[in-house]
Amino acid sequence: MQVREINFDGLVGPLHNYAGLSLGNVASASNAGDTSHPRAAALQGLAKMRTLLDRGLAQGFLPPLRRPAIGALRGLGFAGADHHVLRQAADADPVLFNNACSASSMWTANAATVIAAADARDGRVHLVTANLDTMLHRSLEAAETFANLRRVFADERHFAVHAPLAPGRHLSDEGAANHMRIAPHHGAAGLNIFVHGEERGGRFPERQCRRAGEAVARLAGLNEDGALHIRQSAAAIAAGAFHNDVVAVANETVLLAHPQAFDEDARAFARIAELMPDAHLIAVEGVSLDSAVRSYLFNSQLVTLEPGVMALVLPSEVDRDPDVKAAIDRLVAANNPIAEAIIVDVRESMRNGGGPACLRLRVPASEAAIAGIDPAFLLDERRWDALARLVESWWPETIAPHDLRDPDLWSAVAAAHDALDSHLAKG
Ligand SMILES: N=C(N)NCCC[C@H](NC(=O)CCC(=O)O)C(=O)O
């Protein structure tokens, strides 16, 4: 069956800001308190989408969740008119308030884990919404993301959208950022690799539980040899790889990983090779873990341009590190399907620890399944132009930390969300 991969990028929301909310995410911590540029951020994300669209790839988007998360604050006991809720929360608990202001839904690699139809028992694409339970600001996304995914992938003949796993640290789940799939091609049955952490007492949280990956595999009906659960190395997490997609990326027959990405790396690679003997398993040498984390080399999108020909879509930060540049040159020159490096500027997102791969959720879909996706979320030139115009008209230019408490900003951001909602309602 002809199956295409669609990248659903998160449209960067109008409240994008740098509040330093993610312990273990080096960029988020080191840029805390800086002034953000939401309009530029959303336009950078859109430019990335446009680059892939212009290369003939299928491109969709997911709308930003409405922030500040007034509903969540109401659930925690703040009451009254919207601005009153926000004022009370900002005064009573500034940290909670900042968490409610995060635009983190832009990183749609954390929206859900996606299991391809060819691997699922019932032949449907399964999307298991991530509970994002480790980080407070991210945990506020799950219920709304579930609703969004149900709206976009409403056709139950082709898609099964699952609710987030039960909340709680025992089942923490960060979605596709900790899942890789290796297969002969997008439409063929493949191997699903679930990468987890586990409390090892390191200085940073380990966000993904093994049980969560096992539950996802069961919910989608993977058979036993279709799933492999491996552990992220403590060294990678300590260096700032808070998700596996900071140190590894896979697409069809290719897996690129930092040699220290996994616990017992040699055994992990050997096990994958045993299950997928025809795959190109590439441990990228010559790049330190620190360089990998700073440049986000592995947080690239590895996309198929045509059968057997792939491109790496990399953040422009890779150009600053000679070791990383040399590694990319070697990868493109070597005998593997990677034929091209495409550099994109997603600097505003990168400064919060979100590279090209974080910004997108991959959904493999047959022609029939694509027909079952709400077309308002599939991009062509016309829809892309309309989104860019909306962003240019409504998204704030800058947000400094103290602006988050400014009622004028709350009104401006609500108006931007309203404009997007009414645009989407037109289809
Ligand atoms: N690797 C993937 N797939 N996603 C990247 C997510 C970045 C996100 N950053 C943030 O949430 C920063 C928000 C702040 O600090 O304000 C996170 O840490 O969860």
What is the CA(372)–ligand 1 centre distance, in A?
Answer: 30
Q: How many CA atoms lie within 13 A of 43 on its CB side?
A: 14
Residue 201 pLDDT: 77
Atom of ligand 1 nearest to the CA of 245: 1
Segment 8-20, tens digit of pLDDT = 999 999 999 999 9
What CATH number is attached to the domain comprising 326? Answer: 3.75.10.20
What is the CA(109)–ligand 1 centre distance, in A?
Answer: 10
More confident residue, 205 or 48: 48
> Does residue 127 sit within a domain?
yes
Is 141 near ligand 1, meaning CB less than 6 Å away? no
Q: Among 39-43, 224-228, 413-417, where is mean pLDDT lowest?
A: 224-228
DSSP tag of 38: H
Residue 48 pLDDT: 98
pLDDT at 33 over 90: yes
Segment 363-380, tens digit of pLDDT = 999 999 999 999 999 999
> Does residue 296 sit within a domain?
yes
Q: How many CA atoms lie within 13 A of 42 on its CB side?
A: 31
State the Cα–Cα distance between residues 41 and 54, nearest whole angstrom: 20
Tally of structural domains, the chain: 1
Residue nearest to atom 5 of ligand 1 (CA): 354
pLDDT at 1 over 90: no
Is 244 near ligand 1, meaning CB less than 6 Å away? no
What is the CA(350)–ligand 1 centre distance, in A?
Answer: 9
Average predicted confidence (pLDDT) for the chain: 96
358 catalytic, yes or no?
Answer: yes
Residue 200 pLDDT: 79
> Does residue 89 sit within a domain?
no
What is the CA(104)–ligand 1 centre distance, in A?
Answer: 6
Residue 203 pLDDT: 81
Query: Could you tell me the pTM of the whole model?
Result: 0.97
Is 113 near ligand 1, meaning CB less than 6 Å away? no
Mutation to probe ligand 1, out of 352, 362, 403 (largest number of atoms < 8 A from CB):
352
Is 6 near ligand 1, meaning CB less than 6 Å away? no
Nearest to 173 by CA among 165, 185, 181: 165
State the Cα–Cα distance between residues 196 and 267, nearest whole angstrom: 16
Task: List b or e across 213-252, with b for residues whose CB sees 16 or more CB atoms inside 10 angstroms.
Answer: bbbbbebbbbeeebbbebbbbbbbbebbbbbbbbbbbbbb
Give the tokens for residue 40.
Answer: 């530029």
Residue 198 pLDDT: 76
Segment 304-323, tens digit of pLDDT = 999 999 999 999 999 999 99
Segment 53-70, tens digit of pLDDT = 999 999 999 999 999 999
Atom of ligand 1 nearest to the CA of 175: 3
Residue nearest to atom 6 of ligand 1 (CA): 354
Give the tokens for residue 166.
Answer: 């039960």
What is the CA(203)–ligand 1 centre distance, in A?
Answer: 17
> Does residue 211 sit within a domain?
yes
Residue 265 pLDDT: 81
Residue 205 pLDDT: 81
Atom of ligand 1 nearest to the CA of 104: 11
State the Cα–Cα distance between residues 249 and 300, nearest whole angstrom: 7
Residue 17 domain boundaries: 3-67+102-425
pLDDT at 427 over 90: no
> Does residue 175 sit within a domain?
yes
> Does residue 307 sit within a domain?
yes
> Does residue 85 sit within a domain?
no
**Averaging pLDDT over each range in 151-155, 202-206, 223-227, which range is the top one?**
151-155
- Tell me which of 5, 158, 358, 417 is the catalytic residue: 358
243 catalytic, yes or no?
Answer: yes
What is the CA(268)–ligand 1 centre distance, in A?
Answer: 26
Mutation to probe ligand 1, out of 7, 8, 17, 22 (largest number of atoms < 8 A from CB):
22
Is 177 near ligand 1, meaning CB less than 6 Å away? yes
Residue nearest to atom 2 of ligand 1 (CA): 358
More confident residue, 426 or 391: 391
Is 246 near ligand 1, meaning CB less than 6 Å away? yes
- Tell me which of 158, 243, 280, 417 is the catalytic residue: 243
pLDDT at 418 over 80: yes
> Which phi and psi angles does 170 have, rounded to 5°?
-75, -15
More confident residue, 79 or 200: 79
Q: Alpha helices of 193-254 — where are they, by DSSP H?
A: 210-220, 234-239
Q: CA separation (Å) from 361 to 61, 228, 315?
A: 9, 20, 17
Q: Is 192 annotated as a binding residue?
A: no
DSSP tag of 77: T
State the Cα–Cα distance between residues 305 and 290, nearest whole angstrom: 30
Q: Is 221 annotated as a binding residue?
A: no
Amino acid identity, position 185 = H
pLDDT at 382 over 90: yes
Is 353 near ligand 1, meaning CB less than 6 Å away? yes
What is the CA(41)–ligand 1 centre distance, in A?
Answer: 14
Residue 199 pLDDT: 73
Q: Is 366 annotated as a binding residue?
A: no
- Within a 10 A sphere around the Cβ of 144, how many other Cβ atoms? 18
224 catalytic, yes or no?
Answer: no
pLDDT at 224 over 90: no
State the Cα–Cα distance between residues 338 and 341, nearest whole angstrom: 8
Give the tokens for residue 77.
Answer: 């006991």
Segment 83-124, tens digit of pLDDT = 999 999 999 999 999 999 999 999 999 999 999 999 999 999
- Tell me which of 174, 206, 317, 348 is the catalytic residue: 174
> Does residue 73 sit within a domain?
no
